[in-house]
Amino acid sequence: MKKTSLVIAFLLASCGNDKPNNHPSTKDTISLTNTKKHPTKPVSTGNDSVWLADLYQFVSAGKKIDTLLGNQDDSVYYCKIGNFLLPAEKVALLIYGNAVELFIYKNDKPVKEDSIVVFNIEDYKMEFEVTYDDYNFDGRKDIYIQRTISNGWPMSRGCLITINRRTNKLERHDECDNLANMKADPKRKVVISDSILECYNSDTHEEKPQLCKLFNKWVENKLIPIPSGCRCK
């Protein structure tokens, strides 16, 4: 991720609602002041963090933000506003420090549904990335925050957060922290992950890596690996 100083660039829709329009999104530049380092856990806004208050202003305004990603001094923050989890549901997602906050708009007003603590994204800012997919097959997209990605054979590992359809609470799945390259398979209702086996060649007396596909299924809201016949060939 490229570092910026006190200025971040983001894509901001030209209208303050989510109705379709024929105008392309424009790049705006927002200047954020940062007089104090932000807290490392979810807190209410106040004098602790000027730039965090600015992020909350974006949420309050409710304008669609494709992705707002900033790296200010040692502080990393992320904001996304729109209908990216469900087509009929407008939400805002804030990530800063080790906090994730979810807002759902009701009557055009943001309502904070939940906040949870994850790993400190500032420790992994070079690999930090947020993607969305329906990992638990409930019809609403979930949140994946990449923590690391390896060189050579790319193995992406991170934090999976699902959103309870009934309560709108965020649910972190620690059992997925070491699953690499997770991909949802809606037809089979499984999550596919990658693993690398170090296979010994008796002829060359060398170890050669071999990619193995693993299958994981949901059991009582936990992603459990299915025993596989993955072995060296």
Which residue range forms the structural domain that includes residue 84? 1-124
Q: Supply the pTM of this predicted model.
A: 0.76
220 in any annotated domain: no
> What would the pLDDT profile of 176-215 be if each residue is shown by its tens digit?
999 999 999 999 999 999 998 888 777 777 787 888 899 9
Q: How many CB atoms lie within 10 A of CB 103?
A: 22
Q: Report how far residue 5's alpha carbon sits from residue 139's, in angstroms, rounded to the nearest whole number.
A: 39
> What would the pLDDT profile of 28-46 be if each residue is shown by its tens digit?
223 333 323 333 333 333 3
66 in any annotated domain: yes
40 in any annotated domain: yes
| Amino acid letter, 198 | E
Q: Report how far residue 143's alpha carbon sits from residue 136's, in angstroms, rounded to the nearest whole number.
A: 11
52 in any annotated domain: yes
Query: 162 vs 23, 76, 189, 213, CA distance in Å?
Result: 33, 22, 15, 23
161 in any annotated domain: no
94 in any annotated domain: yes
187 in any annotated domain: no
- What is the DSSP secondary-structure string of 180-219? EEEEEETTTTEEEEEEEEEEEETTTTEEEEEEEEEEEEEE
Q: Which of 218, 220, 217, 219 is nearest to 228 (CA)?
A: 217
68 in any annotated domain: yes
How many domains, the chain?
1
